Amino acid sequence: MMTIRRPAFLSLFVGVFALAVFSGCSAGNPYMSEAENAMEQQDYERALTNIDSALIADSANVDARLMKAQVYRQMADSTMAPEKYADLYRRAREAEETAIKFDPGARSEVEGQRTLTFAQQSQRGAKAFQRARRSSDTTDYRQAAAHFGAASATYPDSASVILNQAYALLNLAQNKEGGEMSGAIPVLERYLETAERPQKNAYDILSALYLQNQRTEDAIELLESAIDDLSQRPTYFQFGGSRGLNYSGKIQVDGSSRSVEGTTPDEVTIEAEGQVSGTFQKTQEKGQLRVSLYYQGSTVADTLIQSGSASLSTNLQDATPLAQMEGRLLNAYNQAGRTEKAMQAYQEQIERNPENVTYRYNYGSLLLQSDRFDQAIEQLQKAVELEPGNVKAQYNLGAAYSNKARQVQDSLTTLNDSLQAISQAAMEENREPTAEEEQMVNELDSQIQELEERKRELFRQAIPPLERARQMSDSDGSFRQDACTALVTAYVQIEQTAKAQALEECAGLNVQRKGEAEQGGNGN
């Protein structure tokens, strides 16, 4: 969790200065005096009423608008709903902005108060979040969300506290019975709009929430832009841990080396596509140094140095930090019915990751659904070679052969219909077939024989993966029954009726026939 820290001495000085300004603002104005008295009694509604009366009398009353901001902040109670708490801080900021319009010279005073407010709310949010992490207390998560929300309302361009607010809301929902995580969606959206370099985790969470809430097109748009953003991020070493530590080291990148040194926190960008390694040390005895290697927005290697030196090494060609996100995008394409787009994306992924079983299986399954059987067989065959225990890939490979055989059967039906039509025409005219018709019959017979053999061969090819799927499936699962049903058909087609009959019970065919027989017996 990230927390923005502002200099404590600056916050303290500005806070005292701002309060001194407010303390003398009511002189000579009865409404302002009443408002100040009401504030002391914590009667905030009466205070606001008097401030509004003062503004009706003098709309340019800057002190009244600044006091209004102060009232809103004092009204906020961390036991409130987080959104209500943050809303009071938003209203405070709006009141201050209006004051600045009337008196631009008030900006320095306002910024001083905001700096103090931001620091206080950020720190309170961090402490509440830490308490919640230890206790899983939803009250603490609610308070953390409220404080971070107030900090982000005070400085709307502070991306880190917006993200912390989202994390607090997500943890609140996760630890609350019946909690709804979709409440974090607008906060995460605001974070992505604000952050200069959004965290990959935020992309992941928001895209998952979109899909959970059936916002598939939003998920697709987000994931496409996220993958594009992250894939273009620079590769770099990040040096953190204890602030102000001096570090040094040597980095090896694709066979060449370079020396580095600096003070934490620091980043060193590198140009690399293959092997990256480094050895690092800190010069001070106290403190700890954390070195992390970032690639495509993710940590792919890191080490913590308490004393002495440490090394890290990785091959970026083996790193696939965007694989999960790319898989989610492909699933989103499927959910949205954008099959061609999904297949194109899978093809691109397989070209980059040819050994990825999931991509092979998913792409092959999509090709199967689109009746592109030869391509489906190619992908599914590779999937089962890479992972023989993948029962779904085995079944779909068998299904691809079976469905292609059925496609051949459709062609056979068409040819047989043509053959029948020739014979029927001669019979209706009470004549012998002409020489031309006999030639057509011979050609059709030849084609039919070829297709019959092709169909039988496809069913023979379907049997091994279907048998493997049957054997690997649960004995009482519907998946096993589907495999048995397909096998019964395949064995019948290649005239191995004994094997087909042995699988009838597994396919549920015996039960069906028994039921039909019982119904027939009851009717007699």
User: What per-residue confidence (pLDDT) applies to 437?
Assistant: 84
Strand 246-253 relative to strand 275-282, pairing? antiparallel
Q: What is the pLDDT of residues 132-178, one digit of tens each?
A: 999 988 999 999 999 999 999 999 999 999 999 999 999 999 988 77
Angle between helices 323-335 and 216-231 (to 10 degrees): 150
User: What per-residue confidence (pLDDT) applies to 477?
Assistant: 66
CA distance 275 to 287: 29
User: What per-residue confidence (pLDDT) applies to 517?
Assistant: 43
Q: Is the peptide bond before 7 cis (omega within 30 degrees of 0)?
A: no
Name the stretches of the chain with pLDDT < 70. 1-28, 475-477, 510-524
Answer yes or no: are the C-beta atoms of 18 and 112 closer than 8 Å: yes
Tokens 């058909």 identify what position?
Answer: 489
Whether pTM exceeds 0.75 = no
Tell me, letter by letter, the H, E, C secondary structure of 287-326: CCEEEEEEECCEEEEEEEECCCEEEEEEEHHHCCCCHHHH
CA distance 201 to 207: 10
DSSP H or E segment with residue 482: helix 478-493
- What percent of the residues of the chain are helix, what percent strand, and what percent coil, each to the nearest 5? 70, 10, 20
Q: What is the pLDDT of residues 75-95, one digit of tens each?
A: 998 788 999 999 999 999 999
